[in-house]
Structure 1
Amino acid sequence: MLIRITNTPRPYAWGSTTAIADLLGTDPSGGPEAELWLGAHPGSPARIVEGAAEDDLAQWAAAHAPGGRLPFLLKVLAASAPLSLQAHPTAEQARAGFERENAAGVPLDDPARNYRDPYAKPELLVALSDPFRALCGFRPVAEARDDLAALDDARLAPLLERLTDDVLPQVVAWLIARSPGVDAIIAALTEQAAAQGELPHRPDWLDTVARLSAHHPGDPGIAVSVLMRTVILRPGEALYLPAGNIHAYLDGLGLELMEASDNVLRGGLTPKHVDVPELMRVLDARPLPPPLLEPEHPRPGIAVYRPEGVPLSLTVMEAAALIEGVDARLDGPAIILCLDGAVTLGEHGEHGELRRGEAALVAEEQTLRIVGTGRIAIASS
């Protein structure tokens, strides 16, 4: 069974006004278009165009999918401003938090609620734009100390005095809570980034400070960012963000695949609720290597992004592979999005054609013949 689907991009303020429309060949709305959701998540379920009696994939999943849900969510993400600084819980933390807030009678739509479902939310992102910028995870403390000390600004002394390997979590909590002295640190970083903006090669971390200051002046997330890794991706490069990884996408266009959850613990760069103690409970505050995800290449023109031990898989197929035809093995429900050109589905084209900007859910396990001159993404769990 093949179900043709569509959706309307989410109009979050940080979204680009043109990137999603330019990618998919659709008419821009005139406002920000931040995320196109292709899945059954109740926050914005994909609408069914053809192939099923239900109105949307949430209704379809409730009636036909195992457990009544589609466990993955594919997004086209287009950021022209930084997203909130955030981390996601493990499955165990999500279940416990969801049950705890339910028992306390916190409504699901309460802005102060942390856990809106009992699921984890690991996610991967594949860059489509050049560049795609992100903050993700903590860099070595010694590296951050050296960069801060080189600014030679007395207002940064309280941060430098606290900043050692064994107290990084406490320093992060101190900054996010805007403790005494933090406002002066934020001001110093903002001024230093502005002053060095005239240099030919401003360091990436200071460039991030300048970007964050422009969009979120005075926010504690500016200070947290100097302890984090600024990662710049080129098209086809990818990140995998497991539970506990603190991150924020800064700008760019990409494909994002995640487990279908809405559990976000925020740490700044947002007017939304920030629960510092709960964030610190889920946060992995260890310096780690950049969380780059290397794809598999089963044949030229095919890249498979599949984090180890996580039920997520995103495959990007280029025209170089599709023109000869690909037999795609789908072990369960999968969503296909045509990014360019057109492809024919089925051994004899019996499932029709997908053109640029069109998407479909393949509802059953099967080997699907795909032929064409376009580029597609296939998301599955």
Structure 2
Amino acid sequence: MFVGITNTPRPYAWGSTTAIAELLGREPSGEPEAELWLGAHPGSPSVILDPTQTGGATDLAAWIAADPQTALGPFAASGRLPFLLKILAAASPLSLQAHPTPSQAAAGFARENALGVPLDAPHRNYKDAHPKPELIFALSPTFDALCGFRPLKEVRELVTGLLAAADALEDPQPQPIEDLLDSLSTGLRETFEWLITRGPGVPTLVALVSTLADTVPELAVARALAAEYPGDPGIVISLLLNHVTLTPGEALYLPAGNIHAYLGGLGVELMAASDNVLRGGLTPKHIDVPELLGVLDFTPVPVPYLTAETPAPGVSVFRPRVPDFVLYRVDADATVAITGPAIALCTSGAVTITGASSSSALARGSAAYVTPDEGSLHLSGGGTVFLATTGS
């Protein structure tokens, strides 16, 4: 069964006012449009276009709850769609954040339940018992992000270079930079903890790095962050992290423990259906430092590109090593086999998708939920489709 779905973009303040509308051929709302959610997450479940197909259910979450066997097939026992597909449009930086492992999520959710912390409490860390790995696929000419800790040697070289810039100020202030170098000698974790807790000297260091950012090219990211979040220690934390600029078709995979922040751009985001976020700066929201430190992986890593498989011309498959999701990008006649539920979104042209028992015609901006019994899907036409489904 193919079930037409839609949704209204989330109006988070950091969202673009035009990017999602332009991509999908819609009229802009006039407000920020940050994320379009396609899935069954209770925060914004997709709206079903024709409820007569789903026994009267008007959204995807309600239909899955009422008829999990039809909607989920082999995933019916879990009672949940394991992934969430989004279009994300960032006009300004998002918060620094990380997500827990499966065991951390389960333990944290149970712990906060036992303590009686309301699910909607602003200081609650774990809204569910699930992990939240995610990938981002760039659509805009550039998509900028911070992702994972850089090698300590690279960080020290960058900070050492700032000493000369600090000395050149009209009122030289090298001491805060020297303090940062001294902290780095103890390791990335210790430096991060000193910064995030606004330890001795950190406010002065943040102010100095914000000043230097106006003249030092290597501090372009810090300069943008200082403009959005003046005085935030995340300005200096950004120096510890990999900065990447994706071009269209490139993707990142962000596993549990990876600290990251999307800085700007339009992309397709696919993640496990969870709302567990541990924030680490660049936000007015709650930051639980001890819990964050327990979740973060401080091991330096290269930029976590996710390389596509190309099983056929016009088909790109982004397959991280998780069971929750796989992302297909299809812009040619092709066949894709699914073993679980899927969501298809057309971003250009028009495409017909034919399964085992029915078919669906998708035009630019339209989406459909595909039940697992459709099996092998044949896509034809002159458009581009992003297809999210479960991993193997």
Q: Same fold (TM over 0.5)?
A: yes
Q: Which residue of 1 aligns with 2:171?
A: none
Q: Does 1:259 align with 2:272?
A: yes
Q: Does 1:19 align with 2:27?
A: no
Q: Does 1:2 align with 2:2?
A: yes
The whole-number CA distance in structure 2 between the counterparts of 1:112 and 1:119 is: 18
The whole-number CA distance in structure 2 between the counterparts of 1:250 and 1:179 is: 26
How do residues 133-212 of structure 1 correspond to structure 2 at under 5 angstroms? Answer: 133-152=144-163, 153=166, 154=174, 155-164=176-185, 167-196=187-216, 202-203=217-218, 206-212=219-225
Gaps of 5+ in 1: 197-201
Q: Does 1:372 align with 2:381?
A: yes
* Structure 1 runs of 4+ with >3 Å offset: 347-350
Report the alpha carbon displacement of residue 347 of structure 1 after superposing the two structures with TM.
6.5
Matched residue of 1:249: which SS? strand
Report the alpha carbon displacement of residue 245 of structure 1 after superposing the two structures with TM.
0.2
Matched residue pairs, number? 368
Q: Is the 8 A contact 2:2 2:358 kept in 1?
A: no
Give CA deviations for 1:12-52 in whole Å, capped at 9, x if unaligned. 00000000000000110001000000000000000000232
Give CA deviations for 1:110-141 in whole Å, capped at 9, x if unaligned. 00000000000000111001100000000011
Q: Which residue of 2 aligns with 1:36?
A: 36
CA distance 1:348–1:332, change in 2 (3 Å)? closer
Q: Which residue of 2 aligns with 1:77?
A: 88
TM-score for both structures, normalised by structure 1? 0.94
Q: Does 1:62 align with 2:65?
A: yes
Give CA deviations for 1:157-194 in whole Å, capped at 9, x if unaligned. 11110103x62112111101111201111111111111
The whole-number CA distance in structure 2 between the counterparts of 1:328 and 1:159 is: 51
How do residues 230-379 of structure 1 correspond to structure 2 at under 5 angstroms? Answer: 230-318=243-331, 321-322=332-333, 326-346=334-354, 350-365=358-373, 366-379=375-388
The whole-number CA distance in structure 2 between the counterparts of 1:79 and 1:86 is: 15
Report the alpha carbon displacement of residue 271 of structure 1 after superposing the two structures with TM.
0.5
The whole-number CA distance in structure 2 between the counterparts of 1:312 and 1:3 is: 19
Report the alpha carbon displacement of residue 311 of structure 1 after superposing the two structures with TM.
3.0
Report the alpha carbon displacement of residue 62 of structure 1 after superposing the two structures with TM.
1.4
TM-score for both structures, normalised by structure 2? 0.92
Report the alpha carbon displacement of residue 350 of structure 1 after superposing the two structures with TM.
4.7
Partner letter of residue 265 of structure 2?
A: G
The whole-number CA distance in structure 1 between the counterparts of 2:388 and 2:35 is: 16
Report the alpha carbon displacement of residue 345 of structure 1 after superposing the two structures with TM.
2.0
Give CA deviations for 1:308-343 in whole Å, capped at 9, x if unaligned. 24432000011xx22xxx222111100000000101
Partner letter of residue 178 of structure 2?
A: A
Matched residue of 1:28: which SS? coil
The whole-number CA distance in structure 1 between the counterparts of 2:298 and 2:104 is: 16
Matched residue of 2:215: which SS? helix
How do residues 62-141 of structure 1 correspond to structure 2 at under 5 angstroms? Answer: 62-63=65-66, 64=68, 65=72, 66=76, 67-141=78-152
Give CA deviations for 1:54-81 in whole Å, capped at 9, x if unaligned. 1101111212131221110000000000
Q: Is the 8 A contact 2:82 2:325 kept in 1?
A: no
Matched residue of 1:195: which SS? coil
The whole-number CA distance in structure 1 between the counterparts of 2:156 and 2:208 is: 15
Matched residue of 1:59: which SS? helix
Q: Does 1:215 align with 2:218?
A: no
Gaps of 5+ in 2: 167-173
Identity across matched positions, percent = 56
Matched residue of 2:266: which SS? strand
Partner letter of residue 187 of structure 2?
A: V
Matched residue of 2:110: which SS? helix
CA distance 1:30–1:151, change in 2 (3 Å)? same
Partner letter of residue 304 of structure 1?
A: V
Partner letter of residue 342 of structure 2?
A: A
Q: Is the 8 A contact 2:326 2:389 kept in 1?
A: yes
Matched residue of 2:61: which SS? helix
Partner letter of residue 287 of structure 2?
A: V
The whole-number CA distance in structure 2 between the counterparts of 1:150 and 1:29 is: 45
The whole-number CA distance in structure 1 between the counterparts of 2:152 and 2:323 is: 29
